[in-house]
Chains A and B, each alone.
Chain A
Amino acid sequence: KQEVTQIPAALSVPEGENLVLNCSFTDSAIYNLQWFRQDPGKGLTSLLLIQSSQREQTSGRLNASLDKSSGRSTLYIAASQPGDSATYLCAVGQTDSWGKLQFGAGTQVVVTP
Chain B
Amino acid sequence: EPEVTQTPSHQVTQMGQEVILRCVPISNHLYFYWYRQILGQKVEFLVSFYNNEISEKSEIFDDQFSVERPDGSNFTLKIRSTKLEDSAMYFCASKQGTLVNTEAFFGQGTRLTVV
Q: Which A residues contact B (CB, under 8 angstroms)?
A: 31-32, 34, 36, 41-46, 49, 51-52, 89, 91, 93, 97-106
Contacts and interface: CB of A to CB of B under 8 A. Distances in A.
B101 A93 contact: no
B99 A102 contact: no
Interface residues of B, number: 28
A101 B99 CA distance: 11
Given A31-B99, A42-B108, 6 more contacts: A41-B111, A44-B93, A51-B101, A101-B43, A105-B42, A106-B42
B75 interface: no
13 contacts: A44-B43, A49-B102, A49-B103, A98-B31, A98-B55, A98-B56, A98-B99, A101-B33, A101-B93, A101-B104, A103-B43, A104-B42, A106-B42
B109 interface: yes
A100 B56 contact: yes
B45 A43 contact: no
Interface centre among A41, A91, A100, A102 (most CB of B within 10 A): A100
Contacts of A98: 31, 48, 50, 55-56, 99
A102 B104 CA distance: 12
Contact of B100 (A31, A36, A41, A106): A31
A45 B42 CA distance: 15
A99 B91 CA distance: 15
B48 A100 contact: yes
A86 B108 CA distance: 15
B22 interface: no
Nearest to A96: B56
B106 A44 contact: yes
